[in-house]
Amino acid sequence: MPTCETPWDARVTHARLFFLPVTTRVPLKFGSETLTSVTCARVCLTLAGPGGRAATGWGETPLSVQWVWPSKLPYADREAALRMLAGEVAEAWVAHDMVGHPVDLCFRFSRDLLPALLERFNSSSRLVEPVPHLAALVVLSLFDIAAHDAYGRLHDQDAFDTLDAAHIHHPLEAMIQPAEGYAVSFSGRHISDYLVDQAPVRLPAWHLVGGLDALTQADLTGDEPDDGYPTTLDRWIETDGLTSLKIKLRGDDDAWDYDRLVRVGRLGLPRGVTAMSADFNCMVSDPAYVNTILDRLRQDEPGIWGHLLYVEQPFPYDLEAHRIDVHTVSERKPLFLDESAHDWTYVRLGHALGWSGVALKTCKTLTGALLSACWARAHGMPLMVQDLTNPMLAQVPHCRLAAHVGTIRGVETNAMQFYPEASRPEAAVHPGLYRRRGGQIDLGTIAGPGLGYRVDEIRRALPDPAACFGED
């Protein structure tokens, strides 16, 4: 059994894994697939420190199959595989002999254990297609998030206040390396050096305009829910005071994509929208596709062009297999990595190919997002924090990451659009996190050690654990 050598060390001793099903009120399109339900994986993790002290922490993420594993395989088969993989990661997370801060634990697990674990899982699986690395990171992320929460609770500190040299074993230069030819050094630097001095309590909220979303009453088809929440974009803007819109595009129909940008822009700008982004759904293979749309927009719709803040991930997920030079796109508008930014090494590759910014997600591990943020900040790349339609507990670290790393404009948050009722117990404790008011979310209710969930006050009925590992 590993021992904790310093007062700040911790080791994982126990994990309880839960699966919580959620149904969307309206469909959400991901690339060629449409999401109508999702399973959220949640874990309660126990960390032990010196002197017999122990604390539990919570982590959660949606297993958004269509996003993490785009494929023609049946949805049920892919989801079942991710559930099984979550059980194996839980067992391995408890069984490993590592001690330290959650950053130390996740860094070593990601580097030393996850690749072999995923290879074994894929070789033993009956699926004709392997589980992708991105899907494995999403599975790992809930354990990493829970470790950060438990560590803060173990030491009675906010988790974001422990990201310094006093707590983390690995020096930053041992975890990330700068791009060649840049006068950048991580020697003597720490994650805490790259966080904002004072995290804001309120953040601008980005609203997702899905490819299937009705913009006005004229677009309604008659099968939209009558549940008291807005359905059309114009009503969302009015109700929530929205100022920031992320526009989902097809990436394989330039006429539709251009028309969608123009329609959303013409609807939004007169209603107080001041920022938009374009998400091409990773469906583009040639930069000319994006450039043609942007050039036409600049010429014919200068008002919309002026409020288009950035372009998000037009190109395929696998950055190594698709090393597309994207400098011509980023010369027109800031171009942000999202699905391809698995970790800082992919950010470094994207930087070399001409990508200008990074969209972080806690679902690729909070530790990985923090390390990518450090790398990007050091190399002058702006940041955003994008949503995985995070409900319930998953919303808290997602929004806290955005507050602490400093983004170009707030945080994308859209669970209240697609399954607001799923977060009712959490919203009773943190109303400002699960409803947008004046175009913003409010983190003022976050309090206490760890990630500040205040989980003891949340009246959430959980199902029986799907799996338990480690010491009771």
Residue 309 has a pLDDT of 98
244 and 132, same domain (yes or no)? no
The reply to whether 396 falls in a domain is yes
Check if the beta carbon of residue 279 is closer than 8 Å to that of residue 246: yes
- Same domain? 432 vs 301: yes
**Range 240-253 burial, b when 16+ CB lie within 10 A, else e:** bebbbbbbbbbbee
| Counted domains in the chain | 2
**Domain identity same for 200 and 171:** no
Domain match, 407 and 318 both: yes
Domain encompassing residue 18: 11-177+462-470
Total residues found in the chain within this entry: 472
**pLDDT value at residue 8:** 83
Residue 239 lies in a domain: yes
Residue 4 in any domain: the answer is: no
Q: Are residues 169 and 289 in the same domain?
A: no
Q: What is the DSSP string of 48-114?
A: E-GGG-EEEEEEEEE--HHHH---SS-HHHHHHHHHHHHHHHHHHHHH----S-HHHHHHHIIIIIH
Residue 361 is part of a domain; what is its CATH number?
A: 3.20.20.120
Per-residue pLDDT of the chain (472 residues; tens, 9 = 90+): 455 567 788 999 999 999 999 999 988 877 778 889 999 999 999 999 988 899 999 999 999 999 999 999 999 999 999 999 999 999 999 999 899 999 999 999 999 999 999 999 999 878 889 999 999 999 999 999 999 999 999 999 999 999 999 999 899 999 999 999 999 999 999 999 999 999 999 999 999 999 989 999 999 887 778 889 999 999 999 999 999 999 999 999 999 999 999 999 999 999 999 999 999 989 999 999 999 999 999 999 999 999 999 999 999 988 999 999 999 999 999 999 998 999 999 999 999 999 999 999 999 999 999 999 999 999 999 999 999 999 999 999 999 999 999 999 999 999 999 999 999 999 999 999 999 999 999 999 999 999 999 999 999 999 999 999 996 5
CB 420 within 8 A of CB 229: yes
Q: Are residues 205 and 288 in the same domain?
A: yes
pLDDT at 236: 97
Same domain, yes or no, for 143 and 197? Answer: no
**Residue 4: what pLDDT?**
56
State how far the Cα of 240 lies from the Cα of 413, in Å rounded to an integer.
Answer: 12
Asked whether residue 456 is assigned to any structural domain, the reply reads no
Same domain, 196 and 297: yes
Looking at the structure, tell me whether residues 307 and 162 fall in a common domain: no
User: CA 240, 242, 244: angle at the middle one, nearest 5?
Assistant: 150
Q: Measured between alpha carbons, how far is 237 from 26 in angstroms, rounded to an integer?
A: 17
- What pLDDT score does 471 carry? 66
Clarify whether residues 160 and 206 are in a common domain.
no
pLDDT at 126: 80
Residues 232 and 353 reside in one and the same domain: yes
Half-sphere exposure for 416 (CA within 13 Å, toward CB)? 24
pLDDT at 3: 58
In a domain, 26, yes or no: yes
